[in-house]
Amino acid sequence: MSKRKIRMGMVGGGRGAFIGGVHRMAAALDGQVELVCGAFSSNPERSRLSGEDFYLPTERVYGSYAEMIEKEKQLPLGERMDFVSIVTPNHVHYGPAKMALQNGFHVVCDKPLCFNMEEAEELVALVEETGLIFALTHNYTGYPMVKQARAMIEAGELGDIRKVVVEYPQGWLSTKLEDTEQKQADWRTDPSRSGIAGAMGDIGTHAENLAEYITGLEITELCADLTAFVPGRQLDDDGNVLLRFNNGAKGILHASQISAGEENDLNIRVYGTKGGFHWRQMEPNTLLVKWLDKPVEVRRTGVGDLYPTATAHTRIPAGHPEGYLEAFANIYRNFAHCVQARLAGETPDPLLMDFPGVKDGLRGMKFIEKVVASSNSKEKWTKF
């Protein structure tokens, strides 16, 4: 079979949504994916109007994800969608993901994976049972210098890892924004849609995923202190977590949405026996590498002798900033490459098989569960 564009159906992401537009831009960036259908809202009329915005045929715009999956399955391969992209609030991840997998469709899902651990474990089992490809959009793993940092640790350049400090401060929920009918604040602070955690579920999972991805280590125990600082808010808007890793390393994870004045300053510092490094999402093309016995090195995207995985995820010549959308697009590009290889009966390029999957989602859901349990416990230290 000759290779072709991979055909995407979207659940959510219609008019008024934020992350749906990010997914569509990221998916389209490399010309490997095309949007062919969608159920863009739980409101059928809003879904229809959103389909018009995207210039889709009326018959490929659906009133529900169930209708979309059922009708798309009846179309011939190459005309029907190849995968479902799920860009809804947390409580609407599990249903479409499960139905898509049960009907033979690959899945891209926004994070966190779903609403609770029971749903997460069922999705992991379904992916293993079906053998379908599942990507989770922990997009910060897509940055070239994050890939470089991971490769340096894998190669032993930093020695044995001892200390991990990962932070994700934001300030946008410093006031009770959810009372103003702001859509993004409304669902993120609602336990019936967000789940048992607020800031820790929304951005703390990004910090957890980044720490485990870069270091290759796993959290084994944690001690958490979560707070809802804004009066009347039902879920945490700030959290501090002590971490213990499986190699004996210790860590600190801090995630906050009431750090007034902060924008989106996800950053990580990792220290080993030979040296350390510092990476910031707001300056993503720079990796500061610090050594015991020589000056600080400034590693830059596209410059010098980088590891192949960093080079494979670099798109443009040095000095041209690559950012959030490009990192997001790297996940879609790699996912599409693997789906294309599957359709063609070929083996994917190992460098392009690097994207977060359903088991990373399970780790994230476990992190949420254990952080909340630890914060509520008098014992504090909780096995991961």
Residue 379 lies in a domain: no
- Tell whether the model's pLDDT for residue 241 goes beyond 60: yes
Give the list of residues 6+ apart from residue 298 with CB closer than 8 angstroms, or none.
Answer: 286, 287, 288, 289
- Tell whether the model's pLDDT for residue 40 goes beyond 70: yes
- Tell whether the model's pLDDT for residue 94 goes beyond 90: yes
Count of domains in the chain? 2
For the record, the structure tokens of 245 come out as 């890793």
Compute the average pLDDT of residues 204-212. Answer: 98
What share of the chain has pLDDT > 90, as a percent? Answer: 94
pLDDT of residue 3: 76
Domain identity same for 197 and 310:
yes
Residue 366 lies in a domain: no
Domain identity same for 256 and 202:
yes
Main-chain phi, psi angles of 258, to 5 degrees: -120, 20
Residue 374 lies in a domain: no
**4 confidence band (pLDDT: 50, 70, 90):** confident
Domain identity same for 210 and 104:
no
Domain identity same for 134 and 183:
no
Domain identity same for 163 and 308:
yes
Give the list of residues 6+ apart from residue 265 with CB closer than 8 angstroms, or none.
Answer: 167, 168, 169, 170, 280, 281, 282
Domain identity same for 313 and 335:
no
Q: What is the pLDDT of residues 276-326, one digit of tens each?
A: 999 999 999 999 999 999 999 999 999 999 999 999 999 999 999 889 999
pLDDT of residue 179: 95
pLDDT of residue 118: 96
pLDDT of residue 2: 65
Domain identity same for 32 and 174:
no
- Tell whether the model's pLDDT for residue 167 goes beyond 80: yes
Q: What is the pLDDT of residues 101-137, one digit of tens each?
A: 999 999 999 999 999 999 999 999 999 999 999 999 9
Domain identity same for 163 and 278:
yes
CA distances from 48 to 13, 22, 117, 365 (A): 12, 20, 33, 33
Domain identity same for 150 and 136:
no
- Tell whether the model's pLDDT for residue 11 goes beyond 90: yes
CA distances from 148 to 54, 176, 265, 293, 301 (A): 36, 39, 19, 21, 9
Residue 42 is part of a domain; what is its CATH number?
Answer: 3.40.50.720
Domain identity same for 245 and 284:
yes
Domain identity same for 55 and 173:
no
Compute the average pLDDT of residues 253-277. Answer: 98
Residue 384 lies in a domain: no
Q: What DSSP assignment string belongs to 182-248?
A: -HHHHHHT-HHHH-S-SHIIIIIHHHHHHHHHHH---EEEEEEEEE--STT-SS-SEEEEEEEETTS
Residue 235 is part of a domain; what is its CATH number?
Answer: 3.30.360.10
Question: How much helix, strand and coil, in percent to the nearest 5, is found in the chain?
Answer: 40, 20, 40
Domain identity same for 351 and 299:
no
* Full domain range(s) for residue 258: 144-317
Nearest-angstrom CA–CA distance, 14 and 183: 13
Nearest-angstrom CA–CA distance, 360 and 210: 10
